[in-house]
Amino acid sequence: MVKIQKILNLQEKKQKSYNFASPQLSELYNFKEKPTLVQKSLISYLQRETSIKKQGNLAKKVDYLEQYAISYNGAVSGDNRNKKKRIDFNSGSDELVPECCSGFMGFECKTCGKVFYKALLCGREWCPECGSDGSWVHRRRMASWWDKMMQMNSVGYLVVTMPEELQKHILSDTVQNAKNILQDIRRYWIRKLKFEYNDFRGLCRYHWVGDDGSKWYPHLNFLLDLGWVDDGVLDRWRSDYLRWIESKYDLTIKAKTTVIWYNYAGSTGQKVHWLKYITRSTLRVRPSMFIEDILYRFKNSVVFGHFEDPVDGTQKLASLEGGKCPYCGTKLECLGFVGVGQFNMFNDKKHLDGGWFEWVPYNDWGFVPEQEYIYNGCPVVTSKNNNGVQLDLFDVSKN
């Protein structure tokens, strides 16, 4: 009797060992009889993959909490700001990808056959990588405004601050109402400028803090296709603005110290300086959760008025950010997502600018691409070598 009980316990133990975390796999491989050697190998492989996946998710979670604690405490040291992932380039380049990169999005030009990949970054202002001056995100912002900036003969720089009463009112309201207030203020000034000047155009972006980089001090920055403006006009704008705030939000503005600052320039050097300054990140220390919720999916950079299509074809990053091929100007077509590890295996990839990469198919090996196509976002090439022999490189479609 004891012997029979031991046999039953052993069978039950074997049956449990073949159970999977996924109900679909448990149902698919629910063996009633003793599994074969092939089935045992399959079970072992799937269990190992599930274990590796769980360990990877746990590592990501731990890393996220560590980064959260570092940024929340404001300890953004030099070592943390330069922490990046190293990408293995076959060309021997030492290009580094920011730690917050989640993968790459592929694009293809149907005219010239070029393939490009864009690094997907978090883009947060307080990110040690994305928030630094000259970062990939900063250069992308500059590139997206470059052609529009160069179309202005004379550029006016207008700064509009908020009274302290309105700043406190924003922080004391709900998240959605706070977003609506920021949008209403921006909309008020765009409409006012369009009313003052016919056929008006410009660029607008919020800076969230002052020069210290920590105190909540939202203010609007405008780059306008405008020249000299009289001081009397600026005083009238300030008076109209304060009256509108008091009427709109039922506030009493005690100190009439709202700053309306304006300057203009026509030189290219000054234009580029203002462009760098306005598109930079200002919120370098992680704010409160309430301010984070306000900035979440808030469209900060706005273009208004009519601008011509990009005319400066020498700026590759500007063309790529505009969704066009930097070589022929054709609109790019999206190929899909590629993970960091998968992208690391690509050969002959070249960093262009701002986290945009060009994939060059085996030029150094003497292969002349005859057919290039994409499978699940990955480049697949069918080529001939110098002797005319057909070669199938990474033809995953046959697997």
Model confidence over 161-197: pLDDT tens digits?
999 999 999 999 999 999 999 999 999 999 999 999 8
The most distant pair of C-alpha atoms in the chain lies apart, rounded to whole Å, by 105
How far, in Å, CA of 278 to CA of 220, rounded? 10
When pLDDT is cut at 50, 70 and 90, the band that residue 11 belongs to is low
> How many H-runs (helices) and E-runs (strands) does the chain carry?
12, 15
Helix (H) or strand (E) holding 391: strand 390-393
pLDDT digits (tens, 9 = 90+) for 194-251: 999 887 899 999 999 987 777 889 999 999 999 999 999 999 999 999 999 999 999 9
HEC profile of 70-132: HHHCCCCCHHHHCCEEECCCCCCCCCEEECCCCEEEEEECCCCCCEEEEEECCCCCCCCCCCC
Q: Are 188 and 294 in contact (CB under 8 A)?
A: no
Rounded distance between C-alpha atoms, residue 150 and residue 156, angstroms: 13
Q: What is the pLDDT of residues 59-118, one digit of tens each?
A: 443 343 333 233 333 333 333 334 445 454 444 445 578 889 999 999 999 998 899 999
**CA–CA distance, 262 with 222 (Å, rounded to integer):** 9
Confidence of residue 346 (pLDDT cuts 50, 70, 90): confident
**Does the predicted TM-score (pTM) go above 0.85?**
no
Q: Is the pLDDT of residue 364 over 70?
A: no
Q: Which residue has the higher pLDDT, 4 or 16?
A: 4
Q: Which two tokens stand for residue 78?
A: 């030099």
Residue 207 contacts by C-beta under 8 Å, 6 or more apart in sequence?
Answer: 217, 218, 219, 221, 278, 282
The angle formed by the CA atoms of residues 366, 368 and 372, to the nearest 5 degrees, is: 135
The closest alpha carbon to 222, from 321, 301, 134, 138, belongs to: 301
pLDDT digits (tens, 9 = 90+) for 16-28: 444 444 444 444 4
CB 385 within 8 A of CB 391: yes
- From residue 379, give the alpha-carbon distance in Å to each of 68, 115, 192, 337, 373: 35, 8, 50, 12, 6
Give the CA-trace dihedral at 356, 64, 49, 335, to 10 degrees. -20
* Res 398 pLDDT > 70: no
Range of lowest pLDDT (6-10, 123-127, 226-230) = 6-10
| % residues pLDDT > 70 (the chain) | 65
**CATH number of the 152-304 domain:** 3.40.1310
Lowest mean pLDDT across 12-16, 144-148, 262-266: 12-16
